[in-house]
């Protein structure tokens, strides 16, 4: 049998019918205040519904602000560079060229990785640069396990999920 609270709620909301209703009303014979309780619960509902929320003020501004926020938070693909007029004089271009040569050589040497040969074992491990927990109740700790070459982010503060909760 369902708990009293569930049946009482269903009774207040007019959700009990037939034999369930008859049985519950029989049980309520020993609770003389029940009818008054139900009347009060319905008055409470009326009280809450009679005072609706204020209207959304400046509704168009709401959209405007929202779209600005979406634009700021949505990643954009790189825009194609605009073609400019010829800004560089020849001497400036020449100097830029010389500097480019030095920088390109240096960058190529230090930053562009060589192709990984098939048999070479990766010496790289996953690196977590920064974490931001979803809310204040969650804590994240990052640990690198060198023996297994794996990085783990431990999340604490997550509520337990019962096995009855469908994951798939």
Partner 1 sequence: MSAPSNPLPKQAEPAAEGPDDLHLVARSQAGDTAAFSELVTRYRSRAFSMIYQMTRNEQDAWDLAQDGFVKAWKSIGRFRGQSSFYTWLYRILMNVTIDSLRRKHIASGTEFDDQIGLRQIEPGAPTAPRPEMQPAERISDKEVRQRIDEAIAKLSPEHRAAIVMREIDGLEYSEIAEHMDCSIGTVMSRLFYARKKLQALLKDVYETI
Partner 2 sequence: MRLAALLLVFALAVLAFAADTPTAITTSTTSAVPVLRAAPAAVDKIWSAVVLATNPPTPKDAPAELREFAPRLKRVFGYSQFDLVGSAAEKIDDRTERWLVPSQSFWLSVKARRAVSKETRGGYLLNLELFQDNRPLLETEAKLAPGSPLFIRGPQYGNGQLIIVLQVQR
How many chain residues interact with partner 2 (CB under 8 A)?
68
- Picked from partner 1, partner 2, none, the partner binding residue 129 (CB below 5 to 8 A depending on kind) is partner 2
Among residue numbers 26 through 85, which ones bind partner 2 (CB under 8 A)? 74-75, 77-78, 80-84
> Which partner in partner 2, partner 1, none is near 154 (CB below 5 to 8 A by kind)?
partner 2
Show Cβ contacts of residue 157 under 8 Å, excluding neighbours closer than 6 positions.
133, 137, 138, 139
* Nearest by Cα to 127 from 143, 111, 147, 148: 143
Q: Say how far residue 2 (Cα) sits from the centre of its chain.
A: 36
Q: Which range, of 5-13, 97-105, 113-121, 141-149, touches partner 1 by CB under 8 A?
A: 5-13
Q: For residue 82, what are the CA distances in angstroms to 35, 71, 72, 78, 79? A: 76, 21, 22, 12, 9
Within positions 102 to 141, which residues make up the interface with partner 1, using CB under 8 A?
135-137
Nearest to 139, CA basis, from 155, 159, 152: 155
Residues that bind partner 1 (CB under 8 A): 2-6, 8-10, 12-17, 21, 25, 28, 30-38, 40-49, 51-57, 59, 62-63, 65-67, 69-71, 73-74, 135-137
């Amino acid at each position: 049998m369902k708990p009293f609270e569930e049946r009482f709620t269903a009774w207040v909301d007019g959700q009990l019918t037939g034999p369930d209703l008859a049985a519950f009303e029989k049980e309520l014979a020993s609770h003389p205040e029940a009818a008054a309780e139900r009347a009060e619960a319905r008055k409470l509902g009326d009280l809450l519904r009679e005072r609706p929320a204020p209207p959304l003020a400046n509704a168009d501004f709401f959209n405007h602000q929202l779209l600005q926020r979406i634009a700021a938070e949505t990643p954009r693909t790189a825009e194609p560079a605009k073609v400019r007029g010829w800004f560089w004089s020849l001497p400036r271009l020449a100097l830029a060229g010389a500097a480019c040569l030095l920088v390109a050589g240096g960058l190529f040497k230090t930053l562009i990785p060589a192709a990984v040969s098939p048999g070479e074992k990766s010496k790289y491990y996953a690196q977590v640069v920064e974490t931001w927990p979803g809310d204040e109740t969650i804590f994240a700790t990052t640990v690198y396990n060198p023996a297994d070459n794996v990085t783990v982010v431990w999340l604490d503060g997550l509520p337990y999920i019962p096995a009855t909760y469908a994951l798939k």
